Amino acid sequence: MSDQTTSQPRTGSLTGSLSFALAPWIVAAVLLLFLPMIFQANSAITIMNQMWITVIFALAYNMLLGQGGMLSFGHAVYMGVGGFFCMHIMNWDSFERIPLPLLPVFGGLFGMGLAILVGAFSTRKAGTVFAMISLGVGELIAACSVIIVVFFGGEEGISGDRTYGLPFMGVEFLKQIEVYYLIAFWLMISAALMYLFSRTPIGRMANAVRDNPERAEFLGYSARWVRFYSFVASGFFCGVAGALFAINYEILTEENLNTASSGVILLVTFLGGVGFFFGPILGAIVFTLVQTVLSLQTELWAFYAGILFVATVMFFPGGLAGVLMMHVPAIRLGKAKLLLVPYIKTLIPAAIGILGLAALVEMIFHYRHASTGDNEMTLFWTTFDSHAVMPWIVVIAVIVIAFGVMRRNLPEMTDAWDEANHAEEG
C-alpha cells in the first residue's frame, strides 16, 4: 500500500528549524527599525503608522478567519471599542501617571473583555450562524455610537491628546517618528504572540476545529470552547490595534466601529491570504498603499481596490501569500529560475495591458465628469485632450497589443510552470 508516491519525508531537527524559523522575524525587526530612515518624509511615516496598525488588526482578524474558520462581519467593534476606552484613559486625570506605551495593554484588555461577552454566545456555532451574529453585534454597537454619546461622543467622536501621558524615558510622543517606533514595537510583540498562539495546543485545535469540528469533538475538545478562546485572543489583539489607532490619530469616531470598517479588514485579510500566517501582513501593506498612495493619484482608487479583491477571490483564492507559496515546490526542486524569463515575457505585457485598461477607465471618467471646457488631462506623466480621438486610439492599441503579446507568450509560461514543478523520477 505504500508504493504510489515518491515524496520523501523531510527530516529536519527541531533545533535546526528553530533558528531558520527566527530568520523572518529578525528581518522584519530590522526592516521596521530602518524603514523610517529610508522613507523620511512625514507622509511616509504617516502611511507606515497606518499600515502597521492595519497589520495588527488583520493578523488578529485572521486568528478567526484563517486559523479558526470563523467569518466575522463585525470585527471593527473590537478594535473600535478598545480604541474608545483608550481615548477615555487619555482624557482621564490620572493619565499623567500612565506611560503611553502601556496603553495598548489596556486597549487589548478592553477588546478582550468585549470579546468575552460577545463570544460567550456567538461562538456556539460556526459558519452562517456565527457570521450573522457577528454582523448583528457589529451593527448594534455601531448604532450605539450615536445613542451612547457619553462614551462614543456621537457624530464627532472622541478626541484626546497622547502627550498628556507620563513621559516614557524622556519621550513625550510629540513627534510622529516616536509614535512610529511605539507602533513598530507593539507590532513585533503582537505578531510574535499571535504566531506563538497558533503553535499552542489551543491554536492547533483551532485549525482542527476549523477543518473538522465533529472529529475534534471526538478527540475530547469542545469545538465551542476552542472557538471561544480563539475569539477572545483575537479580541485582545484587535484592542491593541485600537489603542495604537487612538494614540496615532488621537480621535475615534463611529467610522471605527461600522460595517464598512469591518468589511475592509475582511478584504485586507483575504487579499493577503488567509491560509498563511504572514498573508494578512501582505494584505495590509498592499491595501494601505492602495488606500494612501493610489488615492493621491486617482479618485477611482476604491474601484481598483474592488477589482483587485474580486480578482483575488476568483483567480487566487489563496491571496497574495498563496501566490507566493505556490512557488515553494519549484524552489525546493531548484528550478525556480526556469520561470524567470517566461514571467518577464508574460507578466510585463499583462501589466502594461492592465495599466492601459486603467488609463481607459480614467479617460472615460474624465470625459464624463470633468467640467466643460476643461478637456486637458494628465495620465502617466502625459498631458493630452480627453476629447480628441488620437489618445483613445493610442490607449486601445496599447491594450490590444499588450494583451496580444501576453496571450502569445502565455503557453511558454504554463510550460515553464509545469517543467519547474515536475520532479525528476528516480
422 near another protein (CB under 8 A): no
With CB under 8 A as the contact rule, which of the stretches 37-45, 166-174, 201-209, 324-332 interacts with another protein?
201-209
Q: Which residues contact 419 (CB under 8 A, 6 or more apart)?
A: 335, 338
383 near another protein (CB under 8 A): no
Between residue 11 and residue 50, which ones bind another protein under the rule CB under 8 A? 14
- For residue 95, the tally of other CB atoms under 10 A from its CB is 19
- Nearest to another protein of 216, 281 (CB atom): 216
- By rule CB under 8 A, what string of x and - marks binding of each residue 233-252 to another protein? x-------------------
Three cell numbers, residue 272 = 493577503
Least CB distance from residue 232 to another protein, whole Å? 10
- By rule CB under 8 A, what string of x and - marks binding of each residue 288-327 to another protein? ----------------------------------------
With CB under 8 A as the contact rule, which of the stretches 80-88, 191-199, 252-260, 286-294 interacts with another protein?
191-199
- By rule CB under 8 A, what string of x and - marks binding of each residue 148-187 to another protein? ----------------------------------------
The C-alpha atoms of residue 405 and residue 350 are separated, in whole angstroms, by 8
- Nearest to another protein of 10, 368 (CB atom): 10
The C-alpha atoms of residue 403 and residue 409 are separated, in whole angstroms, by 10
221 near another protein (CB under 8 A): yes
- Nearest to another protein of 100, 226 (CB atom): 226
> Quick check: 264 and 50 in contact, CB under 8 A?
no
- Nearest to another protein of 31, 423 (CB atom): 423
> Quick check: 420 and 339 in contact, CB under 8 A?
yes
The C-alpha atoms of residue 162 and residue 174 are separated, in whole angstroms, by 8
- Nearest to another protein of 276, 287 (CB atom): 276
Choosing from 52, 130, 229, 276, the residue that interacts with another protein (CB under 8 A) is 229
Choosing from 61, 85, 130, 197, the residue that interacts with another protein (CB under 8 A) is 197
Least CB distance from residue 29 to another protein, whole Å? 20
> Quick check: 301 and 307 in contact, CB under 8 A?
no
196 near another protein (CB under 8 A): yes
124 near another protein (CB under 8 A): no
User: Where along the sequence are the contacts to another protein (CB under 8 A)?
Assistant: 1-2, 4-5, 7, 9-10, 14, 196-197, 199-205, 207-208, 211-212, 214-223, 225-226, 229, 233
